Amino acid sequence: MKNKIMLLRAKEYASKIEGISEYHLSLMSDDKLCLVREKISDFTSCSIDEKTFRHHHPINADSFSVEISAMWPDEQHCSLLFDGYVAISFNVTERKKFIKSIFHINRTYDTALIFNNQLIYISDEEYGVDVYNALYR
């Protein structure tokens, strides 16, 4: 029952995302979930010098979305982790629109964009936004 409710909430969230042609929901496998959480933990324990970059508030959402789009690997598929366990996989047609809609819906810049072998983690802190970009296997 809990999984069904989580999937329904994820479906409602995904339906609001712009810049996509389709999406699929699934419960994230334990292996992939551990890998993503481990990488995020690695990121957040790093010093400021090890971040890909940092922007101070206020952030211009348009230019920030362009920067994040430029970090995107050469693929259309991107996944988000919803409520810690649901993977929402998107077929993205317009990267900038996709990213901006996530920021708008979340009302924060906090997000993790998950690709086959790459993770872009964005952490919205009190004085700025930290961006981490790394490959993983």
The predicted structure's pLDDT at residue 133: 86
* Entry pTM: 0.86
Q: Residue 98 has which token pair? A: 């996709």
Residues of the chain with pLDDT under 50: 47-49
Question: What is the domain partition of the chain in residue ranges?
Answer: 2-135
Residue 2's Cβ-count burial label (10 Å; 0-12, 13-18, 19+) is exposed
The predicted structure's pLDDT at residue 48: 42
Residues 6+ apart with CB under 8 A from 16: 101, 105
Which tens digit of pLDDT belongs to each residue from 60-80? 999 999 999 999 988 899 999
The predicted structure's pLDDT at residue 75: 87
